[in-house]
Chains A and B, each alone.
Chain A
Amino acid sequence: MRLSLLALLLFATSLALRFSAVAGDSTAGDSITKDWPATAPAPRSGLPSKAPPLRYRIHARVDAPAGRIRGDVKLQLRNTSQVALTELRLHLYLNAFASKDTRFMRSSRGAHRGHSAGDPGWIKIQSVEVGEDKAESTKLLDGTVASVRLPRRLDPGTAVEVTITFEAQLPQLFARTGRAGELLMGAQWYPKLGFLRPDGSWHCPEFHANSEFFAQFADYDVTLDLPARTIVGATGERVATPSHTSDTSHTSNAWRRHHFRARWVHDFAFVAWPHFKRVARRIEGIDVELLTVPGRDPERQMQLVRYGLAELSRLLAPYPYPRLTIVDLPSRARPAAAMEYPTLFTTLIPMWTPSWHHAGDEITLHELTHQLFQGIVATNEVEEPWLDEGLTTYVSGLLLERRFGPARSVSSLGPLHLGQREKNQLHMLMAPVAPVAGPAASFPSWASYGANVYGRAASLFFTLESLMGQDRVLRALRRYVAKGRFAHPQGEHLEAELLAASPPEVRAAVVALLQGVLREGSRLDARLSCGQAHIEVERRGGLHLPLELHWRDVHGKHYQRQLTKSIPVERHPTPGLREAWLGPPGRLSLDASPADNRCLASDGRWAISLRYLPLLRQLLALVGP
């Protein structure tokens, strides 16, 4: 297994090298290569050999199913910035659910992904010690951020241990975290250090409804005491089999200790439910554990994960951790489903989901792809969410297309079929155009965030494919992942790789496309109308891409013309016209009105309409006697 992985690795590397040689020839100069952030030296397949500058040791007693957590966090941190530190910033995410007045609740209007908030949640810091000294913590802003004043300056390169005791209450399951009946989803449940920038400032904003998370890499060592009956899954590897606690305040039968360790991760999540069915497999040298609902078919999930791990490794980079936990949640836990955490993700494929419907398959492959972009490349999901969600949507879309067919990778119910590209285009059209590269909070609503950061960003990559070719886009991504893993890269790094991989003849179009979509929020809207003997091409919106005009005459002969000029309206005489369409495939993935990129000469329309008559009659018969 290891050997075959290595062979695959060598093959992929040689492929990448060959590609980069080609790119080297066509690269105009050094102006488009960016300085990459300093990355910990790591082999392509494994974890960095040195330890990260941050280490969490957490012990918590989790009162399930009440959702009350009491614990302490021992934080060992080294000042990796260039200036002395006088304070630490912590995220207290659970306080977002403490009242209706928090930034999260105001920006979400009390609902997240269609689920309303229930009982509140909160987290309180009870004491802070820095080394041997007591320290003060102050809640800031809406309570989702805290500041800890350091008793002594922490000079660059030096380390300190901070001990924080805390008490938390998980909310009724809402926005990824909380309790639903006997199930507990422990996400963003402990005081979590903000992101220390090289200039010594903290990136630790209030929790916003659109935004996900951003943190430094750390080693985690976590012990959780939970009621004995509960089945637990968590980030990292289980250190030993669960043992009875020596806790005297509870009978040893009732509580059980679970110990997990994770290296080079930026978050720790756990899930607990007494009814989980545990299925374990070894896939691609990785211990894969599936926690699923009794009665569901574990093979559907396992086969998807097997396929996804192999394909991601082949296309971009292998999964570097020894263990992966998949949580197939019961449907009542839907507000926590479809979320990625390092080495663990939640998904949901309800029992008896028909094999032709891939919404659940998509969740699993999407969250699995996040392991790469959110897990190990770990871009800033608050400031540049498109990097993670856009890339993940694009790459998981490719995975789904390859597995289920391009036109049927969302659903394939007869004529009602839908592919990933179409789905992204529809998603994109659900809200007005906004600059895709904006921070999460810049989008006026959840719908706008979803439409632009997921749908429009993924459609951008499909458009890039039509300009550069899919292999070049993937080569750029491979290099971005190789350089960016464990390094928190930024948008400019991805753009530089895309430009470096694009051939000179399309580079100007790629630059204009990236600029227009990412920063200017430009629209692309081409329209075609067929007359009896002419075609009219109309271009609205600020984004003009080179297009192809295709048409067929009444004898079935096919013609093609390049449209490279940015003229608002062009008229082409086409005697004997039957139908016309715009191309090449994928070039209009960002088009605001996909229905009018094709047209039929008017006399052909009636015959087509008539075919719909029996279908219409079948449908009308439903309301008849």
Chain B
Amino acid sequence: MISRFAPLCVAATRGARRAPRALLWLWAGQLCFGAAALLVFRAALGDAWAHRPAPSLLDLGSLALRESGALLPMSIAVGAVVLLYALASPLLHAVVLQRLGRVRLELPSTQQVAVSVLKVTLLFTLARAAVVLAWLLTWPGVLRLSQTIADERWQLLLLGAFVVAGLLLWSLLSLLLRHTIAALALGLAHDASSASRLVARVYHDASRAMWACWALERGLWLGTLLLGLALHMPTLPLTWGVALLLEVLVVTRLVARIWALVATMEVLPAPSSSADAL
């Protein structure tokens, strides 16, 4: 067991030495993107932002009801931001990881990486959209099916399993996307098909570190949510303190992510060329 983890730890330490700078880049990049998104949301939500320190559900609900004519342009604006983020964020990851991967040989140019990453991202975005669509289309059927079950425990179990399965599938797609990007950015693969073969190998050879970090990252996210629920989050106004806490959470998750990517990629033998790597 230890022998399997040891190379991982060595690799992670090596990666971590370069990680802080990469982390800073990733964080700053995401921050800029978040700020841009905020501007768009502010413009889209209009009054709700301008009138109150913290818009209540009543404010948001009543605005949505009153401005129902403005709902379509607003949804388009929000949808565009979300889509743009879904496409831009993997690129950001790729650029930052490329800086980590300078040890590699024959590193493809940033432009080449960007094109490959964008292709892969588009593919995954479509896959995720399909998952959401399939989930939404199946949900009414599952709900109806659950209501034919007399025992509420089984009812709840069925619905719970369906929700968890959807979330899990979504989360796994993120994981797969992240590692494919890493393989491309670190120069371990040159295109999507070679990356997918490499990622399959990553899953086989280095699954422990990857799963551990994935669990850590998702755990942080879920833990915050559950803690909030357990504490009933009494009023919880969005003060600077709470905002800071959320930001710390963002950074912690980025650390876990970088560590996982570097560690899982580092254990693979350095290729003399990308073809050898596969």
Near B by CB (< 8 A), chain A positions 175-207 give 181
Q: Tell me whether A620 is interfacial, beta carbon within 8 Å.
A: yes
Given the known A-B contacts A620-B85, A624-B89, are A595 and B55 also in contact in the complex, defined by CB atoms under 8 Å? yes
Bound-state Cα–Cα, A593 to B151, Å:
44
Given the known A-B contacts A616-B34, A616-B41, are A599 and B236 also in contact in the complex, defined by CB atoms under 8 Å? no
Q: Tell me whether B148 is interfacial, beta carbon within 8 Å.
A: yes
B30 — nearest CB in chain A belongs to which residue?
A617
Bound-state Cα–Cα, A544 to B41, Å:
34
Contact B178 A625 (CB under 8 A): yes
Cross-interface CB contact of A351 among B89, B153, B181, B249, cutoff 8 Å: B153
Chain A's interface size range is 35 or more
* A53-61, A74-82, A210-218, A418-426 - interface stretch: A418-426
Shortest Cβ gap from B72 to chain A (Å): 19
Cross-interface CB contact of A611 among B41, B128, B148, B239, cutoff 8 Å: B239
Given the known A-B contacts A181-B150, A415-B233, are A616 and B59 also in contact in the complex, defined by CB atoms under 8 Å? no
Shortest Cβ gap from A608 to chain B (Å): 5
Q: Tell me whether A512 is interfacial, beta carbon within 8 Å.
A: no
Given the known A-B contacts A417-B57, A623-B86, are A616 and B37 also in contact in the complex, defined by CB atoms under 8 Å? yes
Contact A611 B152 (CB under 8 A): no
B 145-171 binary contact with A (CB < 8 Å = 1; else 0):
001101111011000000000000000
Near B by CB (< 8 A), chain A positions 576-625 give 579, 592-596, 598-600, 602, 605, 608-618, 620-621, 623-625
Q: Which A residues are CB-close (under 8 A) to B66?
A: 429, 592-593
Bound-state Cα–Cα, A616 to B238, Å:
12
Bound-state Cα–Cα, A267 to B242, Å:
55
Given the known A-B contacts A415-B238, A611-B239, are A426 and B246 also in contact in the complex, defined by CB atoms under 8 Å? no
Bound-state Cα–Cα, A615 to B47, Å:
19
Q: Tell me whether B105 is interfacial, beta carbon within 8 Å.
A: no
Residue of A275, A356, A415 with highest tally of chain B CB at under 10 A: A415
Bound-state Cα–Cα, A425 to B238, Å:
24
Given the known A-B contacts A414-B236, A415-B238, A616-B37, are A426 and B62 also in contact in the complex, defined by CB atoms under 8 Å? yes
Q: Tell me whether A244 is interfacial, beta carbon within 8 Å.
A: no
Q: Tell me whether B50 is interfacial, beta carbon within 8 Å.
A: yes
Shortest Cβ gap from B152 to chain A (Å): 4
Q: Which A residues are CB-close (under 8 A) to B47?
A: 595-596
Cross-interface CB contact of A600 among B51, B86, B121, B177, cutoff 8 Å: B51
Contact A625 B42 (CB under 8 A): no
Given the known A-B contacts A611-B239, A615-B238, are A598 and B89 also in contact in the complex, defined by CB atoms under 8 Å? no
Q: Which A residues are CB-close (under 8 A) to B128?
A: 623
Bound-state Cα–Cα, A271 to B59, Å:
41
Bound-state Cα–Cα, A394 to B90, Å:
52
Cross-interface CB contact of A618 among B55, B236, B249, cutoff 8 Å: B249
Q: Tell me whether B56 is interfacial, beta carbon within 8 Å.
A: yes
Near A by CB (< 8 A), chain B positions 166-209 give 174, 177-178, 181
Q: Tell me whether B63 is interfacial, beta carbon within 8 Å.
A: yes
**DSSP class of B's interface residues: helix, strand, loop or mixed?**
helix
Cross-interface CB contact of B50 among A334, A605, A613, cutoff 8 Å: A605
B 54-72 binary contact with A (CB < 8 Å = 1; else 0):
1111111111011000000
Contact B89 A611 (CB under 8 A): no
Shortest Cβ gap from B236 to chain A (Å): 5
Q: Which A residues are CB-close (under 8 A) to B41?
A: 616
Residue of A294, A331, A430 with highest tally of chain B CB at under 10 A: A331
Q: Tell me whether B126 is interfacial, beta carbon within 8 Å.
A: no
Contact B152 A614 (CB under 8 A): no
Given the known A-B contacts A356-B232, A620-B82, are A594 and B243 also in contact in the complex, defined by CB atoms under 8 Å? no
Q: Tell me whether B256 is interfacial, beta carbon within 8 Å.
A: no
Q: Tell me whether A332 is interfacial, beta carbon within 8 Å.
A: yes
Bound-state Cα–Cα, A330 to B93, Å:
49
Given the known A-B contacts A332-B148, A426-B58, A624-B86, are A615 and B253 also in contact in the complex, defined by CB atoms under 8 Å? no
Q: Which B residues are CB-close (under 8 A) to A416?
A: 57
Q: Tell me whether B237 is interfacial, beta carbon within 8 Å.
A: yes
Contact A429 B62 (CB under 8 A): yes
Q: Which A residues are CB-close (under 8 A) to B141?
A: none
Q: Tell me whether A539 is interfacial, beta carbon within 8 Å.
A: no
Bound-state Cα–Cα, A379 to B175, Å:
61
A412 — nearest CB in chain B belongs to which residue?
B232
Q: How many A-B residue pairs have CB under 8 A?
A: 163
Q: Tell me whether A262 is interfacial, beta carbon within 8 Å.
A: no
Q: Which B residues are CB-close (under 8 A) to A275?
A: 150
Contact B232 A623 (CB under 8 A): no
Near B by CB (< 8 A), chain A positions 542-601 give 579, 592-596, 598-600
Q: Tell me whether A293 is interfacial, beta carbon within 8 Å.
A: yes
Cross-interface CB contact of A595 among B59, B232, B236, cutoff 8 Å: B59
Q: Tell me whether B135 is interfacial, beta carbon within 8 Å.
A: no
Near A by CB (< 8 A), chain B positions 239-261 give 239-240, 242-244, 246-247, 249-250, 253
Q: Which A residues are CB-close (under 8 A) to B63?
A: 593, 595
Q: Tell me whether B142 is interfacial, beta carbon within 8 Å.
A: no
Q: Tell me whether B8 is interfacial, beta carbon within 8 Å.
A: no
Given the known A-B contacts A350-B152, A417-B57, A595-B63, are A332 and B147 also in contact in the complex, defined by CB atoms under 8 Å? yes
Q: Which B residues are CB-close (under 8 A) to A594?
A: 58-59, 62
Contact A595 B57 (CB under 8 A): no
Shortest Cβ gap from A604 to chain B (Å): 8
Bound-state Cα–Cα, A293 to B153, Å:
11
Contact A181 B34 (CB under 8 A): no
Contact B243 A621 (CB under 8 A): no
Q: Tell me whether A413 is interfacial, beta carbon within 8 Å.
A: yes
Bound-state Cα–Cα, A315 to B164, Å:
45
Bound-state Cα–Cα, A592 to B65, Å:
10
Given the known A-B contacts A600-B53, A611-B243, A614-B243, are A413 and B152 also in contact in the complex, defined by CB atoms under 8 Å? no
A333 — nearest CB in chain B belongs to which residue?
B147
Contact B147 A609 (CB under 8 A): no
- B residues touching A (Cβ–Cβ < 8 Å)? 30-31, 33-35, 37-38, 41-42, 47-63, 65-66, 81-82, 85-86, 89-90, 93, 121, 124, 128, 147-148, 150-153, 155-156, 174, 177-178, 181, 228-229, 232-233, 235-240, 242-244, 246-247, 249-250, 253
Extra inter-chain contacts (20) besides given A415-B233, A595-B58, CB under 8 Å: A295-B153, A330-B152, A334-B147, A422-B58, A429-B65, A592-B66, A594-B59, A596-B47, A596-B51, A598-B52, A600-B51, A608-B53, A608-B54, A611-B238, A611-B239, A616-B34, A617-B250, A624-B174, A625-B90, A625-B93
Top 9 A-B pairs, shortest CB-CB distance: A414-B233, A614-B246, A595-B59, A624-B89, A422-B58, A351-B152, A332-B147, A617-B34, A614-B247
10 A-B residue pairs with Cβ-Cβ distance under 8 Å, sorted by A, are A332-B147, A354-B229, A415-B233, A418-B58, A595-B58, A608-B54, A614-B243, A618-B249, A620-B33, A625-B90
